[in-house]
């Protein structure tokens, strides 16, 4: 069965800036000769990788792609003419790193609280510690070092202040907390293997964890790092994705368009917003068709009906979940996506946000009871129809306009405070 995989996440440059390349700043090159030698070493390094992987996989990985360098790091380029629909690479499961690679003795010591991301991070740590003795050394050695990663969890407090107005700020704090909890959960188990993990620090684990969240692909089988495939850069408009055939045990990518020799080949990691791309990959896109923003609603503490309103919202709301980008969604959190079409039509403001505003504008227990009765007579969802009191309906939408306007003003103020004149 062929299933679509997706980057497991959870942007300020147009492509993944250092997803797979160890950059050497030009200021550190003292002459044209040293630059040429560096370039030669890089070419040799790139030439060696695919043959190594094909030997390990005991099969051909790709005959139409070659590894090269673009302005954004290691990239894959068409070495031959590619037609839409062509299979451009195929990596068998035995040439992928997954939680199954974890030492069975260590795996048995891990509690149920340790997720697959953390387990795969431990696999990466083990291979890193083994160095040249690791059978995965040609791949592990090419993974970005901590200083080359721009996921927001690596940002300084001063840098995070620049995005305090964004939902990415709190998601970054949450992700750091999650990583710390996972580290505490595995630390006891790792102590049973002092010869391997004695010197592992929280910073080491956070680096490995970030490598997994930014590079691994998820499917019904779990998560895996797919060498060579993770050299492909992201294009949010591409229809090419990583597909996993769990019957034939391989992952593959099909071209979504024609490529001429020398063109960089791109795929889509997922339908990710700029917030998710920045959080999990450390970059953004200048125009992202999948962009979105989260709106937080709140019932004022001075509202005499606050407890009743919160109870109604809780009772009629779906359980807390995560959206397509991995961001948390609750009864007072709403996602707005930009919608563009030739006719100018779109979904606009989510009905759930309109409903929240209508509940917030009610001024009597009777009005709230009327909403409950109306919900029971229809689809069970609270306040999804316009209020019968036109003044209340107008007030609800004025409240939404005020909230959205304030968010835009806060954003503009944040941009100006950071010394930038454009988003």
pLDDT tens digits, one per residue of 65-121:
999 988 777 899 999 999 999 999 999 999 999 999 998 999 999 988 899 999 999
Q: What is the mean pLDDT of residues 291-309?
A: 87
Q: Give the per-residue pLDDT at 22.
A: 28
416 or 355, greater pLDDT:
355
Q: What is the mean pLDDT of residues 351-372?
A: 91
Estimate to the nearest angstrom the gap between the alpha carbon of 40 and the chain centroid. 34
pTM for the full predicted model: 0.75
Q: What is the mean pLDDT of residues 287-308?
A: 87
Contacts of 191 (CB under 8 A, 6+ apart): 197, 198
* For helices 116-130 and 202-215, angle between their N-to-C axes, nearest 10 degrees: 110
Contact 359, 374 (CB under 8 A): no
| Residue 12 pLDDT > 60 | no
Read off the DSSP letter of residue 190: H
Q: CB count, 10 Å around CB of 349?
A: 15
Q: Give the per-residue pLDDT at 421.
A: 46
Question: How does DSSP assign 345-370, residue by residue?
Answer: ----S-HHHHHHHHHHH--SHHHHHH
Q: Give the per-residue pLDDT at 345.
A: 57
Confidence of residue 281 (pLDDT cuts 50, 70, 90): very high
Q: How far apart are the first and last CA of the chain?
A: 43
Q: Give the per-residue pLDDT at 344.
A: 56
Q: Give the per-residue pLDDT at 233.
A: 93
| Residue 423 pLDDT > 50 | no
Over its C-alpha atoms, the chain yields an Rg (Å, rounded) of 25
In tens, the pLDDT along 232-250 reads 999 999 999 999 998 899 9
Run of H or E residues at 293: strand 292-296
Confidence of residue 225 (pLDDT cuts 50, 70, 90): very high
Mean pLDDT of the chain: 82
Map out the domains of the chain with their CATH numbers.
42-281 (3.90.1410.10), 292-420 (no CATH)
Which phi and psi angles does 408 have, rounded to 5°?
A: -65, -40
Q: Give the per-residue pLDDT at 260.
A: 97
Quote the percentage of the chain above a pLDDT of 90. 51
Maximum Cα–Cα distance across the chain: 82
Contacts 24+ apart (CB under 8 A), 65-72: 65/89, 65/265, 67/228, 67/231, 69/21, 69/42, 70/15, 70/233, 70/264, 71/15, 72/13, 72/14, 72/15, 72/16, 72/17, 72/18, 72/19, 72/21, 72/233
């Amino acid at each position: 069965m062929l299933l679509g995989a997706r980057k497991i996440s959870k942007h300020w440059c147009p492509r993944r800036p250092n997803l797979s390349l160890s950059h050497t700043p030009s200021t550190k090159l003292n002459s044209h000769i040293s630059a040429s030698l560096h370039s030669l070493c890089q070419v040799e390094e790139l030439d060696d990788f695919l043959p190594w992987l094909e030997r390990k996989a005991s099969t051909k990985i790709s005959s139409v792609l070659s590894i090269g360098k673009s302005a954004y790091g290691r990239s894959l380029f068409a070495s031959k003419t590619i037609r839409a629909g062509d299979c451009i690479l195929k990596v068998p499961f035995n040439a992928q790193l997954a939680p199954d690679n974890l030492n069975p003795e260590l795996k048995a010591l891990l509690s149920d609280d340790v997720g697959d991301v953390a387990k795969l991070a431990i696999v990466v740590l083990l291979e890193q510690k083994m160095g040249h003795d690791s059978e995965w050394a040609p791949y592990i050695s090419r993974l970005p070092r901590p200083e080359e990663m721009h996921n927001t969890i690596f940002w300084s407090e001063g840098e995070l202040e620049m995005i305090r107005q964004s939902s990415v700020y709190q998601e970054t704090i949450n992700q750091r907390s999650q990583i710390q909890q996972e580290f505490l959960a595995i630390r006891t188990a790792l102590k049973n293997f002092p010869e391997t993990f004695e010197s592992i620090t929280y910073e080491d684990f956070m680096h490995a964890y970030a490598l997994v969240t930014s590079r691994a692909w998820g499917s019904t089988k779990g998560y895996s790092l797919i060498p060579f495939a993770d050299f492909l850069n992201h294009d949010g408009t591409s229809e090419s994705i990583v597909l996993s055939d769990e019957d034939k045990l391989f992952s593959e990518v099909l071209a979504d368009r024609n490529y001429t020799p020398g063109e960089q080949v791109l795929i889509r990691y997922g339908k990710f917003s700029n917030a998710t791309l920045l959080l999990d990959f450390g970059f953004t896109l200048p125009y992202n068709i999948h962009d979105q923003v989260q709106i937080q609603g709140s019932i004022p503490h001075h509202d005499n009906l606050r407890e009743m309103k919160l109870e109604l919202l809780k009772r009629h709301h779906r359980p807390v979940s995560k959206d397509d980008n991995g961001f948390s969604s609750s009864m007072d959190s709403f996602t707005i996506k930009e919608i563009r079409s030739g006719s100018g039509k779109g979904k606009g403001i989510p009905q759930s946000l309109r409903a929240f505003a209508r509940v917030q504008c009610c001024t009597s227990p009777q009005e709230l009871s009327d909403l409950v009765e109306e919900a029971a007579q229809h689809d069970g969802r609270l306040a999804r129809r316009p209020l019968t009191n036109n003044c209340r309906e107008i007030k609800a939408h004025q409240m939404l306009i005020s909230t959205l306007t304030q968010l835009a003003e806060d954003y503009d103020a944040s941009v100006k405070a950071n010394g930038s004149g454009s988003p």
